[in-house]
Amino acid sequence: MSTQASKDNTEGQKVPLLVDDHTVTTVRESKIMVILRGLPGSGKSTMAKEIEQKYKDNAHLFSADNYNIKPAIRTSDGGEYSIMDDELHKCCDRHEANLVILDDTHHDRDRLEKLFDLANQFHFTVLVIEPKTLWKLDCGQLKDRNHWKLSLEELKNLRPTLEKELLPLYFGWFLAQCDEDKLRKISQEFLEQLGAFKAFKKHLQSYGIEDKHKLNLLKYFAKTPNILHCTSKYCDYGKVVGSEEYAQMEAVKKGYSRAYTLHITALFVTPRTTGAQVELTEEQLHLWPLDAEKEVMPKDNFPKGSRAHITLGTAADIQDVQTGVDLLEFIKLQQTGGEKEDFGEMYRGKIHYYENGMWMLTLSRKIEVKTIFSGYYGKPGVTAPQQGSKKVFLPTCEIM
Ligand code: A2P
């Protein structure tokens, strides 16, 4: 790569994981799969190498070029990827790198779905990054820049597959691994203490548990998200009205792949869900859709960001989306001065009982968690995977 070409790239592509200090620190504490996407010659390889260089102790770069895989519309079953995929799988399975960088055109939906599967299996947060070079879609210029010597016609064939932005199932803030493990541990301790609480045992009817000796809240909320996150916009890969507009928002474009610290103010439990209430900062509210609260409770008025939460667990047959609805229910009761019993200090704060089995622990000290703003990607029509059991607590993490 010539000095000029390299300069062109760095000028136009200041991605947060290269230049933003908070993002760099957070990425180092997370498991991230960077999927570089774009036409041959658009600047992916330069960026891939820069990222690898920045995180060299803990990164592994897989470049399709190194496996002699020529960018093309595929008619085969993708067998040309078998060696690369074997090595990639081994790298993930043996925890050889916390940051996996994939440098390829990534124009093929089947190929992407295979990679998303792998990322979800090994708990990687996916960042889909496209170079922002001025010539990224200019086939005339790309013809001279791509080292595969693809013809104008070959490039024009590939171009439509990369013009459209890839929308996720949902956008949101994904917890860095250390903070995720800490929050899971806090949630576990809270559920154990609440489950053993005398007053809680008196209100068991709403939980459908008759015998207080059979009560185990950890088992009751056994379903937990694969990676803990705070959803900002549910898109269903573009099917939800307004998702394309959301993805095009300046704040979303700038915020994508950037690190943010979220502040948790309360933990709550209802017969359906358990979650954490998140207080968004002014900056984070720019990433919050205007209609997020109205979407689920159209008749009520809530301050923007009221629905922000992290689902920690759901009861059998309950969908994750219920957690935000339950949180708004608490806020509605708070607004109307609804029934509330104060049971004093417990665990990390003050515990209150509302009604119908709804408990909220207001934290005496907010819990801060580092996150990366990104999307969850998978196969359309297939729901996001869940964990049935708790993740292992990392011994290297500090206690919050
Ligand atoms: P949440 O953010 O409350 O945890 P699913 O597996 O059901 O497709 O959901 C995937 C994720 O998207 C979950 O995190 C879930 O809830 C969130 N989600 C699902 N449906 C919606 C929706 N209509 N609005 C906002 N978030 C949603």
Q: Is the pLDDT of residue 4 over 50?
A: no
Whether the model pTM is above 0.95: no
Give the strand pairing for 59-63 and 99-103: parallel
Give how far the C-alpha of residue 274 lies from the chain's centroid of Cα atoms, to the nearest Å: 19
Residue of 187, 288, 321 best suited for mutating to test ligand 1, as the one with most atoms within 8 Å of CB: 321
Closest C-alpha to 187, from 261, 266, 278, 120? 266
Model confidence at 13, pLDDT cuts 50, 70, 90, reads low
How close is the Cα of 184 to the center of ligand 1, in Å? 19
CA of 326 to the centre of ligand 1 (A): 13
Which of 120, 233, 234, 383 best tests ligand 1's pocket when mutated (most atoms within 8 Å of CB)?
A: 234
CA distance 196 to 351: 13
Provide the pLDDT for residue 394.
32
Residue 10 pLDDT > 90, yes or no?
no
Structure tokens at 65: 């070029």
Any catalytic annotation for residue 89? no
CB contact at 8 A, 312 and 361: no
- The residue among 358, 363, 346, 330 whose CA lies nearest residue 198 is 346
| Distance from C-alpha of 395 to C-alpha of 178, rounded to nearest angstrom | 9
Residue type, 178: C
Give ligand 1 pocket residues (Cβ under 6 A): 169-170, 225, 231, 234, 311, 319-321, 323-324, 383-384
Residue 253: pLDDT over 50: yes
Which residue out of 89, 147, 203, 229 is catalytically annotated?
229
Note the pLDDT of residue 333. Answer: 95
133-147, 157-171, 237-251, 259-273 — which is least confidently predicted? 133-147
User: The dihedral of CA 52, 53, 54, 56: what is its sign?
Assistant: positive
Token output for 142: 């790309």
Q: What is the pLDDT of residue 122?
A: 96
The larger pLDDT score, comparing residue 77 to residue 96, is at 96
The per-residue pLDDT for range 316-355, each reduced to its tens digit, is 999 999 999 999 999 999 998 877 899 999 999 999 999 9
309 as an active site residue: the answer is yes
Domains of the chain in start order, with CATH, are 3-163 (3.40.50.300), 170-376 (3.90.1740.10)
Number of H helices, E strands in the chain: 16, 14
**Average pLDDT rounded to a whole number, residues 48-59:** 96
Q: Find the distance separating the first CA and the last CA of the chain, reported in whole Å.
A: 45
Instruction: Find all residues with CB under 8 Å of 234, minimum gap 6, and list them.
Output: 169, 170, 240, 243, 321
pLDDT digits (tens, 9 = 90+) for 82-126: 999 999 999 999 999 999 999 999 999 999 999 999 999 999 999
Structure tokens, 140 = 């005339």
pLDDT at 215 over 90: no
